[in-house]
Amino acid sequence: MAKEYVERLRRGYAAFNEGGVEAILDQVAPELEFSDRESAPDRETFVGGEGIVELVRLNLEAFDQLELEALDFVDAGEVVLVLVRMQVRGRASGVALDTEACHAWQFSEGHARRMQVYASKERAIEALGLDL
């Protein structure tokens, strides 16, 4: 099943990059939780399609450019780590930032249940107690 999770995520990131958040809404389970990195000053948890729309909306308030590139997928069974390159430009400042993060997708019973953002793959592995 884990290979299927990787392929589903690969298609999801590609669809997001091609068509924005609207392109993936039919793939988002109503109970799926999204959480920003622990260091985010106004960290929240967002739920389902409405939640991901709100998360993207909040990001677009701060950034006039937001691009995600999935660089690597790490299959850890019921968890898939996605190393992501993020390119953003501050809406007010115009400052461009090119950085990496790790999206940790947790699956259960064939469905993605949670996505947590971590500053790095190493931090995700440590926080989730993965043995890779």
Q: Where are the domains of the chain?
A: 2-128
Residue 66's pLDDT is what?
81
Q: Which fold has domain 2-128?
A: Nuclear Transport Factor 2; Chain: A, (3.10.450)
d(Cα 62, Cα 88) in Å, to the nearest integer? Answer: 9
Residue 1's pLDDT is what?
60
Distant-in-sequence, close-in-space partners of 98: CB < 8 Å, separation ≥ 6? 85, 86, 87
**More confident site: 22 or 124:** 124
Q: Note the pLDDT tens digit of each residue in 13-58.
A: 999 888 888 888 887 888 889 988 877 777 889 999 898 889 888 8
Residue 92's pLDDT is what?
92
Distant-in-sequence, close-in-space partners of 59: CB < 8 Å, separation ≥ 6? 66, 88
